[in-house]
Homo-oligomer: A and B are copies of this chain.
Amino acid sequence: MAAKHAYQDDNILSVIQDRLDTLNKSERKVAEAILNDPTSATRYSIASLARAAEVSEPTVNRFCRNFSATGFPDFKIRLAQSIATGTPYVGQNISPEDSVAEFADKIVLTTIANLDKARQALSAKALALTIDHLIQAKQINFFGMGGSAPVALDAQHKFFRFNIPVMSYDDALMQRMVAAGSATGDVIVVISYTGRTREMIEIAEIARANGATVIGITAPDSPLSKVCTVALEVTASEDTEVYMPMTSRIIHLTVIDILATGVTLKRGPDFQQHLKKIKDSLKPTRLPIQ
């Protein structure tokens, strides 16, 4: 992805946290002063930050340059940008002592951070290719097992509106049968967080052997990714943490959104009528507003 505006994000705050050990005494003081209260750090002048960290102004300046800023003002800008997306809890894991408000915030902010990371990593080329395949598909099948089953179901809901035969399967046996029965012109979208589920890889191979196009929404360089016609590689930080939920599903859903939008756009304006008709068909089931 990374359209024209490719601001090299990599959250300065987490970079600072990561490199804390490699800093020398005074610079660590600066780092700590910033991490201690990043939000107000953006309002400090170089003098006040120096005072807060109990170092001299040039030290602060050198510190900023260490983090690939051209100087203090530039550093503050970068800091401010990092802050918006997920600041207050950078790297902080959920702890049993958290209040509901706190861990809820952490969950949402982590999700946001991961979405943004995914945005930068997603390949526009792979997306475009996938959209092309989907448009030409005679039939689309979404495969997802376990946690990815809801994603596949969601995709089915979305693509159903396109007037293409579309199904989703969460059962390995059914998936295997569908794969075995597939043919050229069929597109099978395999959704797998790890990309290492044996069963899924085999199923993908069977589908390809039968001439189907296989799209993988999965982890980069995973075994699954290698057997796909097109791999949409999604970097979701491993859920090493006990309490932190899997954000990958959400990223996968967003990828589905992108694909569905891509297909809609390519279908052209006359197709919008069709979509509106489907949407309107739900009206009678709803209570009017007021």
Give the interface size class of chain A. Answer: 35 or more
Q: Which residues of B contact A257 (CB under 8 A)?
A: 107, 111, 245
Is A14 among interface residues, defined by CB-CB distance under 8 A?
no
A102 touches B149 (CB 8 A): no
Is A91 among interface residues, defined by CB-CB distance under 8 A?
no
B197 touches A285 (CB 8 A): yes
Q: Which residues of B contact A112 (CB under 8 A)?
A: 85, 112, 115-116
Is A47 among interface residues, defined by CB-CB distance under 8 A?
no
- Which residue of B7, B254, B260 is within 8 Å of A111 (Cβ)? B254
Nearest chain B CB to A166 CB, angstrom units: 14
* Complex alpha-carbon distance, A111 and B128, angstroms: 20
B154 touches A249 (CB 8 A): yes
- Which residue of B85, B100, B154, B198 is within 8 Å of A131 (Cβ)? B100
B147 touches A157 (CB 8 A): yes
Smallest CB-CB separation from A275: which chain B residue?
B242
Which of the candidate stretches A15-23, A28-36, A75-83, A174-182 sits at the interface with the other chain?
Answer: A75-83
> Given that A5-B88, A105-B119, A253-B250 are contacting pairs, would A150 and B154 also be in contact in the complex, using a CB cutoff of 8 Å?
yes
Is A199 among interface residues, defined by CB-CB distance under 8 A?
yes
A102 touches B254 (CB 8 A): no
Which of the candidate stretches A57-65, A203-211, A264-272 sits at the interface with the other chain?
Answer: A264-272
* Complex alpha-carbon distance, A269 and B80, angstroms: 37
Say whether chain A's binding surface is mostly helix, strand, loop, or mixed. Answer: helix
B94 touches A265 (CB 8 A): yes
Nearest chain B CB to A289 CB, angstrom units: 7
B124 touches A104 (CB 8 A): yes
A109 touches B119 (CB 8 A): yes
A198 touches B249 (CB 8 A): no
Is A261 among interface residues, defined by CB-CB distance under 8 A?
yes
* Complex alpha-carbon distance, A197 and B196, angstroms: 40
A103 touches B265 (CB 8 A): yes
* Complex alpha-carbon distance, A9 and B84, angstroms: 9
* Complex alpha-carbon distance, A76 and B80, angstroms: 9
Known: A100-B262, A198-B285. 17 other contacts (CB 8 A): A1-B101, A3-B102, A42-B81, A78-B80, A80-B80, A94-B265, A107-B254, A112-B115, A147-B154, A150-B153, A150-B154, A153-B153, A196-B286, A197-B287, A201-B287, A242-B264, A245-B257
| Subset of 14 A-B contacts with CB under 8 Å | A42-B77, A77-B77, A77-B80, A81-B84, A103-B262, A108-B118, A115-B115, A146-B157, A147-B154, A150-B150, A196-B288, A199-B285, A250-B254, A253-B253
